Chains A and B, each alone.
Chain A
Amino acid sequence: MGGTDSAAAVELSDVRKRYPTGAVALDGVSLRVEEGRVLVLLGTSGSGKTTALKTVNRLVDPDAGRVTVLGRDVTEWDPIELRRGIGYVIQEAGLLPHMAVAQNVALVPRLLGWPEERMRARARDLLTLVGLEPDRFAPLFPSQLSGGERQRVGLARALAADPPLLLMDEPFGALDPLTRRRLQDEFRDLQARLGKSVVLVTHDVPEALRLADEVAVMDRGRVVQRGTPREIRDAPQAGFVRDFVAAALP
């Protein structure tokens, strides 16, 4: 995949989703991620931010509205091809417990049918990129890693096939504050270097402000405020956003 114009990497237009239980998950969500930019979906749990993220790689199909990736409606994509072209990072990394680190990292290249030698080299490069010594970590299994190491492997896996777009669902959620802070910094540097388009979901206000080019605050299935981190911090909308930000920042 490769859109070359400066069109949106991802765009959601008035997306609606109701769960089989009848609960409204998305109540007319519109979003736009410019290429090479980081959009953070910020909200409490149950706000619909993860559901919105999953409409992008079609883990969730909306009832109404339109989702485009690289200028093309997701329903026109073959879902398998679409997903293989998007890096996906989830909380607790979602590593496959029965595969060694190297196999986890090379998973999407394997699905794409890369030759063995190239996969192995790619896995080593990516482990180095995310700060893990390849010789030491490649043969380990996920259960032998710390939380931070797992998260690094998850990121390396998402980057393996060099996708232009990353979806990250609470990627630093389960880490201690120090590790979390270090990984956030490393992620920001990496992103600046690689220029990926990123949609990142978090409930952590400082994290959102630190990593985002743009923040979309969500509440009860709606986007209640969009803006730069500075706008969110300095001029939160009265009501939910102000309370949420005030509660999180000292």
Chain B
Amino acid sequence: MTLLGFLAERRGEILALTGQHLILVLVSTGIAAAVGLPAGIAMARRPRLARPLLGAAGLLQTIPSLALFGFLIPLPFVGGIGARTAIVALVLYALLPILRNTYTGILQVDPAVVEAATGLGMTRSERLRMVELPLALPVILAGLRIAAVVSVGTATIAAAVGAGGLGTYVFRGIATVDTRLILAGAIPAAALALLTDALLAAVEKSRRPARAAGLLAAGAALVAALAFAATGPSRHGAVVVGSKNFTEQVLLGEIVSAVLEDRGFRVDRRLNLGGTKVCHEAVVSGQLDAYVEYTGTALTDILKRPVRSDPSEVLREVQAAYGPLGLRVGAPLGFNNTFALVMRRGEAGRRGVARISDLAPHAALLRVGLFGEFLERKDGMAGLVQAYGFRFGLRPREMDLGLLYQALAAGQVDMVVGSATDGLIAALDLVVLQDDRRYFPPYDAVPVMSEAGLTRHPGLAAALDSLAGRIDEASMRRMNYAVDGEHRAPADVAREFLARAGLSGTRP
């Protein structure tokens, strides 16, 4: 399908996402202006305030957005999953240009003009209102323009906390390596940025910028109200299902959602959230009712406990530790997304390698490809070498996850370190070596539910239990490949899987 055809087909959803995007930008820029303008004026009045305030605003800009979300999500009133957290973050990012331009705009007003105004008998507030602000207006508007345009771009990160907007497509596209999806998010976002820039530039250049700015603000408020109305009622009473931002997680989110919908629940999908920490904080604070986690990730990344290798012990430990957090861990779904040493089938056969310990005689000259993280992790290369007692003679080649399998298929490496459920394992006819010494910790997929959500939604646990043991590695690989390799929609793939597995009820 061509890009244009794709955009046309999705125009309804694109419009809705654009509306959400617009709301995020307008509301956050409005709040940033409401805070930044008075603060900038105060700074111009008391220059001693300027340095610490500008410093603080500058510092906020340097905080990576995901880290900022990590801080914000657990906070009451400003945090959580959804638009509120995204708006708070966008406001913090938009403050600096507004503050700085208001401050410098007022300071750069000709002192002779200010003295003349004083000499004519203006009070401080009259001088501010009638002289300093009007003369600083072009600079202040330039600051607002920067803030708004940058916000249009930055608002794409809102998708990482489930706030919607065009970032939803960008993140989904990146996760599923689907360029059309990325473009379907990026092109409207770029158009929105250009439009915002042009509108504010027109205000700056207009003969009466104060009036034009007022008109634009009124128009923006109207658009925000319309867009807000158009996005429809909020999903009160729905089960909120989350997922992290990669293909398998999105698929699992869709599967869980579909199973719930089959049982009559209404579901609010907050998929593609920005990583483990975001999902965990969200389910702990009750913003999510459920998402799928991996036992090994829960043990080491979330609970910060040492690596263990027995799957049932790990599960029990995680279950015990999650209880006090107000979380319940459901039964494993059936597959273990652990690290996998992967070879071409023919090559493995020729060398007579089926288990990792079979590698010992080949290790000296084996060309290994891996992603850098594996060299650093506690459950990575160092432990592997120790557990199996051989070391690789050649220096492993580090490359991007997406490129590993291409390199393996092209014969540029003999073996790669991937994940057990990577879709390309099935598609490229590769084999996963058996971890015969059970070195790799288990990463069993398990639903994590909040106790509050379970109370609110009776039957939720039972619904998720119906998935217990039903998704094996091969199925997961096939589904991952259907999305990554065949560019099919995750929701369709999930439905198809459920139907084929006999898990689907009333709906196709």
Could you tell me which A residues sit within 8 Å of B by CB distance? Answer: 54, 57, 59, 80-86, 88, 90, 92, 94-98, 107-108, 111, 157, 167
Binds A, one of B112-120, B255-263, B474-482: B112-120
Q: A80-B123, A90-B112, A98-B135 are in contact. List 11 more A-B contacts (CB 8 A).
A: A59-B115, A82-B121, A83-B119, A83-B121, A84-B121, A94-B115, A95-B116, A96-B113, A97-B113, A98-B134, A108-B120
Residue B54 at the chain A interface, CB threshold 8 Å: no
Task: Let me know if B120 and A107 touch, CB within 8 A.
Answer: yes
Q: Which 6 residue pairs spanning A and B have beta carbons closest together?
A: A94-B116, A84-B121, A83-B121, A88-B119, A98-B134, A80-B121
Task: Let me know if A90 and B121 touch, CB within 8 A.
Answer: no
Residue B436 at the chain A interface, CB threshold 8 Å: no
Q: How far is the CA of A167 from the CA of B116 in the complex (A)?
A: 12
Q: How far is the CA of A233 from the CA of B214 in the complex (A)?
A: 60
Partner of A111, one of B112, B113, B121: B121
Partner of A59, one of B119, B126, B135: B119
Task: Let me know if A94 and B121 touch, CB within 8 A.
Answer: no
Smallest CB gap from B118: residue in A: A59
Task: Let me know if B126 and A83 touch, CB within 8 A.
Answer: no
Residue B131 at the chain A interface, CB threshold 8 Å: yes
Q: How far is the CA of A94 from the CA of B113 in the complex (A)?
A: 6
Question: Which B residues touch A83, using CB under 8 A?
Answer: 118-121
Task: Let me know if B134 and A81 touch, CB within 8 A.
Answer: no
Question: Which A residues touch B130, using CB under 8 A?
Answer: 96
Residue B212 at the chain A interface, CB threshold 8 Å: no
Of B117, B119, B131, B135, chain A has the most CB atoms within 10 Å of the CB of B119
Residue B122 at the chain A interface, CB threshold 8 Å: yes
Convert B86-113 into 0s and 1s, putting 1 for each residue whose CB lies closer than 8 angstroms to a CB of A.
0000000000000000000000000011
Smallest CB gap from B110: residue in A: A97
Question: Which A residues touch B121, using CB under 8 A?
Answer: 80-86, 108, 111
Q: How far is the CA of A86 from the CA of B116 in the complex (A)?
A: 12
Question: Which A residues touch B131, using CB under 8 A?
Answer: 96
Q: How far is the CA of A195 from the CA of B276 in the complex (A)?
A: 83
Question: Which B residues touch A84, using CB under 8 A?
Answer: 120-121
Q: List 7 A-B contacts (CB under 8 A).
A: A59-B118, A83-B119, A86-B121, A90-B115, A94-B119, A96-B131, A111-B122
CB distance from A60 to the nearest CB of B (A): 10
Smallest CB gap from A84: residue in B: B121
Question: Which A residues touch B116, using CB under 8 A?
Answer: 88, 90, 94-96
Chain B interface category by residue count: 10 to 19
Question: Which A residues touch B120, using CB under 8 A?
Answer: 83-84, 88, 107-108, 111, 157
Question: Which A residues touch B126, using CB under 8 A?
Answer: 111
Of A54, A59, A107, A157, chain B has the most CB atoms within 10 Å of the CB of A107
CB distance from B125 to the nearest CB of A (A): 11
CB distance from A126 to the nearest CB of B (A): 14
Q: How far is the CA of A90 from the CA of B119 in the complex (A)?
A: 10
Q: How far is the CA of A84 from the CA of B121 in the complex (A)?
A: 5
Q: How far is the CA of A59 from the CA of B116 in the complex (A)?
A: 10
Question: Which B residues touch A57, using CB under 8 A?
Answer: 119
CB distance from A56 to the nearest CB of B (A): 10
Smallest CB gap from B134: residue in A: A98
CB distance from B137 to the nearest CB of A (A): 8
Question: Which A residues touch B135, using CB under 8 A?
Answer: 96-98
Question: Which B residues touch A59, using CB under 8 A?
Answer: 115, 118-119
Question: Which B residues touch A98, using CB under 8 A?
Answer: 134-135
CB distance from A94 to the nearest CB of B (A): 3
Q: How far is the CA of A88 from the CA of B119 in the complex (A)?
A: 7
Q: How far is the CA of A97 from the CA of B113 in the complex (A)?
A: 9
Question: Which B residues touch A54, using CB under 8 A?
Answer: 119
CB distance from B204 to the nearest CB of A (A): 14
CB distance from B150 to the nearest CB of A (A): 28
CB distance from A124 to the nearest CB of B (A): 20
Smallest CB gap from A81: residue in B: B121
Question: Which B residues touch A111, using CB under 8 A?
Answer: 120-122, 126
Q: How far is the CA of A5 from the CA of B119 in the complex (A)?
A: 26
CB distance from A199 to the nearest CB of B (A): 13
Of A84, A88, A92, chain B has the most CB atoms within 10 Å of the CB of A88
Q: How far is the CA of A54 from the CA of B112 in the complex (A)?
A: 13
CB distance from B485 to the nearest CB of A (A): 62
Smallest CB gap from B137: residue in A: A98
Of B115, B118, B121, B134, chain A has the most CB atoms within 10 Å of the CB of B121
Q: How far is the CA of A83 from the CA of B126 in the complex (A)?
A: 14
Question: Which A residues touch B113, using CB under 8 A?
Answer: 94, 96-97
Q: How far is the CA of A9 from the CA of B120 in the complex (A)?
A: 18
CB distance from A84 to the nearest CB of B (A): 3
Question: Which B residues touch A167, using CB under 8 A?
Answer: 119
Of A80, A84, A97, A98, chain B has the most CB atoms within 10 Å of the CB of A98
CB distance from A52 to the nearest CB of B (A): 14
CB distance from A156 to the nearest CB of B (A): 13
Question: Which A residues touch B122, using CB under 8 A?
Answer: 80, 111
Question: Which B residues touch A107, using CB under 8 A?
Answer: 120
Q: How far is the CA of A92 from the CA of B112 in the complex (A)?
A: 10
CB distance from B352 to the nearest CB of A (A): 86
CB distance from A194 to the nearest CB of B (A): 19
CB distance from B212 to the nearest CB of A (A): 14
Q: How far is the CA of A59 from the CA of B115 in the complex (A)?
A: 8
Q: How far is the CA of A167 from the CA of B120 in the complex (A)?
A: 11
Smallest CB gap from B116: residue in A: A94
Question: Which B residues touch A108, using CB under 8 A?
Answer: 120-121
Q: How far is the CA of A96 from the CA of B112 in the complex (A)?
A: 10
Q: How far is the CA of A59 from the CA of B120 in the complex (A)?
A: 10
Convert B124-139 into 0s and 1s, putting 1 for each residue whose CB lies closer than 8 angstroms to a CB of A.
0010001100110000
Question: Which A residues touch B123, using CB under 8 A?
Answer: 80
Question: Which B residues touch A86, using CB under 8 A?
Answer: 121
CB distance from A151 to the nearest CB of B (A): 13
Q: How far is the CA of A88 from the CA of B131 in the complex (A)?
A: 17
CB distance from B324 to the nearest CB of A (A): 64
Q: How far is the CA of A98 from the CA of B134 in the complex (A)?
A: 7
